[in-house]
Structure 1
Amino acid sequence: MLETISAYLTLSKARIVLLVTISTVIGFFLGGNGIHSIPLLMFTIVGIALVTAGGAALNQYLERDADAKMHRTQDRPLPSEFISPSQALKYGINMVLVGLAVLIWKVNLLVSFLALLSAFLYVLVYTPLKKYTWWNTFIGAIPGAIPPMIGWAAASNDLEIGAWVLFAIIFVWQFPHFYPLAWMFREDYARGGFKMLPVIEPDGKSTFRQIIWYSILLIPVSTLPTFIEMAGQTYLFGAVILSVAFLGLGILFVKTKTFANADKLFKASLVYLPLLFILIVFDFKI
């Protein structure tokens, strides 16, 4: 029983579901000037969690053959044959449909549309593009940045400038977050037939440029909440410190080109975003 639960959590990419849920809650809090309806928040969380889990399952269904060739993913439920392709397909479709039904019934149509758009881009655009072009990362960053907009729309039934600022921050953050991982596992991605930037350009020059460019861009973008009067000076100071430190780790990796520093940058990216969220909630202007 526990093994089956663990397999379905892996199929659902539980860590990604958690990150999406946190981003959604942040958007809900900011879009609603605080949390004024716990039931509405709960229905939003349940709906988006189900849609995200279903999308993750469908992604693994489509990539099951590639996953079997990659060391990093060969133990996933589908390549290891713990879950059959037909089971994964049914699970993924049902989770998406039930999640959308919850959002339509208990939240609003704007949220439902955003959730459907995110799932569509992730499963039917980003996933197949990984086999054809390195631009898949750019496309994949779009659904990755939609969750806070979903939370905002759930709380306000609108998409004001603050929602777009949150989208921009997470969109830009994803490049220095993902590219170190893609560089570390470039040989594995090549085995799977994925056209990631470090795979099609093994010397890494374009990958390193992308990391630096987006890390630099993240500095002004991360300060936007203060300039639209969504957050105060404490947030501004903290955002600049975090973003400059993050850029410093990116420069260190690009200079040394070592696995250890790529891993440091990737792990730092996992700390950067939650800290930024904490700062914006702490210094939020209601």
Structure 2
Amino acid sequence: MSNANSSLATPSVISDFKEITKMRLSLSVVFSSLAGYLLGVDVIDFKVLALLALGGYFMVGASNAFNQIIEKDLDALMSRTRNRPIPSGRMSVNTAFIIASVFTLLGIIILYTINKQTAMFGAISIFLYTCAYTPLKTKTPLAVFVGAIPGAIPFMLGWVAATNDFGIEPGTLFALQFFWQFPHFWAIGWFLFDDYKKGGFFMLPTGKQDRGTAVQIIMYSIWTLIVSIIPVFGFTGKLQLSIIAAGVVFVLGLGMLHYAIRLFKVMTEKAARQLMLVSVSYITLVQIVYVIDKFIR
């Protein structure tokens, strides 16, 4: 009987661990940092690549765990979050805090072994996400602006890990992921509007599912598109883009812009969900195009 109980409990413990650290989100963030590393490096060091992936995962996992500790009471109010490990009672706050703290220490130590700047930006990311973005979510729509800063760090972090330098190149990567987050998160805020309202979260720029929000989504989609092709003009240092790659990136940007305009036209939660899905595909494909273009150019 005890064997049966342990076999039943194990998947639950694993799934709770994955959920408290938001494994899928963490892995997507790690993907961004690895793409940034590949763009910045001259010769790939697979040891550094592995350390960046591991350290990056620990940092994002820590941020997510701290976030769920702080928002445990609000998560219990919302349909999509009430079954998370802490509000459901499957995991204690102390256990989550231990996981978050250990992940923070491991993440900073591992990134520090790459170089000091990488560790510094990783630490800044955790601090801003946990101490600024999370508490601001219930106070002001400007929380999305604040949250976009740590959210944009991973792509840039990879370049810094590769070069131990912060300049125009990682700054451009940061700007691309920074502007992209507004249409992405506002789309989420739109189709989860009612659920967020239960938790008292203010995610949309106007506070409503209205034309004003839709216009801002379009504007930030345009900014994202513009920033994404800047490297083709040759003034972003070592970060360069061929005309063909820039054309592909531009078309991808037009695709996301199309769904942003469609949201403006139809104003539905379905259109917002489609924009969110397209935005995820967009940033992933753009990063892949950047990396492929570098190695075949």
Aligned to 1:178: 185
Residue pair 2:141, 2:207 contacting (<8 A) in 1 also:
no
Cα separation, 2, equivalents of 1:76 and 1:98? 24
Aligned to 2:244: 234
Verify: 1:63 aligned to 2:65, yes or no: no
Cα separation, 1, equivalents of 2:152 and 2:119? 16
Cα separation, 2, equivalents of 1:219 and 1:153? 23
Verify: 1:21 aligned to 2:27, yes or no: no
Match of 1:82 among 90, 94, 99: 90
Aligned to 1:91: 99
Verify: 1:100 aligned to 2:72, yes or no: no
Aligned to 1:45: 53
The number of residue pairs the alignment matches comes to 283
Aligned to 2:259: 249
Task: Tell me by how many angstroms 1:225 deviates.
Answer: 2.1
Distance verdict in 2 for CA 1:276–1:194, change over 3 Å = same
Aligned to 2:129: 122
Cα separation, 2, equivalents of 1:70 and 1:146? 29
Aligned to 2:16: 7
Task: Tell me by how many angstroms 1:159 deviates.
Answer: 1.4
Cα separation, 1, equivalents of 2:42 and 2:264? 40
Partner SS for 2:294:
coil
Cα separation, 2, equivalents of 1:241 and 1:152? 25
Query: What are the ranges of 5 or more consecutive residues in structure 2 without an aligned counterpart?
Result: 1-9
Cα separation, 1, equivalents of 2:207 and 2:178? 23
Verify: 1:144 aligned to 2:144, yes or no: no
Task: Tell me by how many angstroms 1:33 deviates.
Answer: 3.1
Cα separation, 2, equivalents of 1:201 and 1:156? 41
Cα separation, 2, equivalents of 1:77 and 1:217? 38
Residue pair 1:71, 1:188 contacting (<8 A) in 2 also:
yes
Partner SS for 1:69:
coil
Task: Tell me by how many angstroms 1:160 deviates.
Answer: 2.6
Query: What are the ranges of 5 or more consecutive residues in structure 1 without an aligned counterpart?
Result: none
Residue pair 2:190, 2:209 contacting (<8 A) in 1 also:
no
Partner SS for 2:80:
coil
Aligned to 2:199: 192
Task: Tell me by how many angstroms 1:78 deviates.
Answer: 0.8
Residue pair 1:55, 1:123 contacting (<8 A) in 2 also:
yes
Aligned to 2:7: none
Match of 1:261 among 259, 271, 282: 271
Residue pair 1:126, 1:136 contacting (<8 A) in 2 also:
yes
Residue pair 2:149, 2:178 contacting (<8 A) in 1 also:
yes
Which residue identity lines up with residue 95 of structure 1 in the other structure? F
Cα separation, 2, equivalents of 1:203 and 1:38? 46
TM-score, normalised to structure 2, is 0.92
Q: Percent identity?
A: 36
Cα separation, 1, equivalents of 2:209 and 2:292? 42
Matches within 5 A, 1:195-206: 195-197=202-204, 201-206=207-212
Aligned to 2:5: none
Once the two structures are superposed, what CA deviation does each residue of 1:21-76 show, in whole Å capped at 9, x if it has no partner? 111101111111352x1111111211111111011100000000000000011111
TM-score, normalised to structure 1, is 0.95
Cα separation, 2, equivalents of 1:281 and 1:99? 25
Cα separation, 2, equivalents of 1:185 and 1:71? 10
Distance verdict in 2 for CA 1:34–1:222, change over 3 Å = farther
Which residue identity lines up with residue 225 of structure 1 in the other structure? P
Residue pair 2:191, 2:270 contacting (<8 A) in 1 also:
no
Residue pair 1:197, 1:206 contacting (<8 A) in 2 also:
no
Once the two structures are superposed, what CA deviation does each residue of 1:149-175 show, in whole Å capped at 9, x if it has no partner? 211111111113111111111101111
